[in-house]
Amino acid sequence: MANSTNRHINVSSVQSVDRAVSVLEILARHGAAGVTEIAVELGVHKSTAFRLLDVLENRGLVEQAEERGKYQLGLGIVRLAGATAAQLDIVQEGQPVCERLAEELGETVNIAIADGDGAVNVVQTIGAAAITGYNWVGRRTPLHATSSGKVLLAFMPPDQRRNLLPRRLPRHTEHTLTSAARLREELVAVVERGYATCEEELEVGLNSVAAPVRSFNGSVIAALSVSGPAFRLTGERLPAVAARTAEAADEVSRRMGFG
């Protein structure tokens, strides 16, 4: 090793590459930086930093900014990320988390995404305690009468939400919120709390809780929900279950690159 200071136990074998990645991270943090600046931060010689930047530039991961001698992250990174995002599927990332939660709670866990004026379940795992094994995957549910839907509505851009909510909302049970104004009030609370609940508003005897799943850019892309029979998933149990639901949703968000 060149200099004495071997910071944190260096497990990685290929130092060159390791440093190159550091260069990328430095650029990500600083936005743009010069050779010398990077060399100092890496603790290596200018020439070393330069060579690294040179390779990264030739490969398009880094490019020179307007100002001569300033480097910044390049399009190559974006292109790579495009390929990553494709396989960074909510289904793939969410499935294992849902399974764990379903096992822990014994209830059914779903992940739903917004699709026009409805929500579509794209992941479902059925907990051990679930009586009926009804398959909700692919099923469209109304946004105003489900906990997932409320989450999606609550974190939606206002413009978009406005277009999705007619003044009177279709009734499904006698608990369904049918007034847009009334629903809007609840959505404010949903953002506040970080989760939504639904008590027999879609089907009699069916309760649920949902929390938002975020993408790497912070936008809410899905809702993770736990649902079960009202007699077991009682109103008073909901807050406690909501906490676990939110944790799971955060875990999926992390896997999607958020935070």
Partner DNA sequence: TCCGCTGTTGCTTAATGCGAAACACAATGC
Partner DNA sequence: GCATTGTGTTTCGCATTAAGCAACAGCGGA
**Residues numbered 88-107 forming contacts with a second copy, rule: CB under 8 A:** 88
| 16 lies in the binding site for DNA (CB under 7 A) | yes
Helix/strand/coil for 143? helix
Q: Are 235 and 198 in contact (CB under 8 A)?
A: no
| 55 lies in the binding site for a second copy (CB under 8 A) | yes
| Least separation in angstroms between CB 15 and a second copy | 8
Q: Which does 56 bind (CB under 5 to 8 A by kind): a second copy, DNA, none?
A: a second copy
How many Cα atoms occupy the beta-carbon half-sphere of 22 within 13 Å? 18
**Residues numbered 24-43 forming contacts with DNA, rule: CB under 7 A:** 34-37
DSSP letters for 75-142 = HHHHHHHHHHHHH--HHHHHHHHHHHHHHHH-SEEEEEEEETTEEEEEEEE--TT-S-----TT-EEE
Structure token digits, residue 157:
């851009």
d(CA 122, CA 105): 20
User: Which stretch, 48-56, 73-81, 96-104, 175-183, contacts DNA (CB under 7 A)?
Assistant: 48-56
Using CB under 8 A, pick the residue from 1, 11, 128, 181 that binds a second copy: 11
Structure token digits, residue 17:
């590459």
Interface residues toward a second copy, by CB under 8 A: 11-14, 16-18, 20-21, 24-25, 27-29, 31-32, 51-52, 54-56, 58-59, 61, 72-88, 115-117, 157, 159-160, 162-164, 216-217, 255, 257
Chain residues that interact with DNA, rule: CB under 7 A: 1-3, 13-16, 19, 34-37, 44-48, 50-54, 64, 68-70
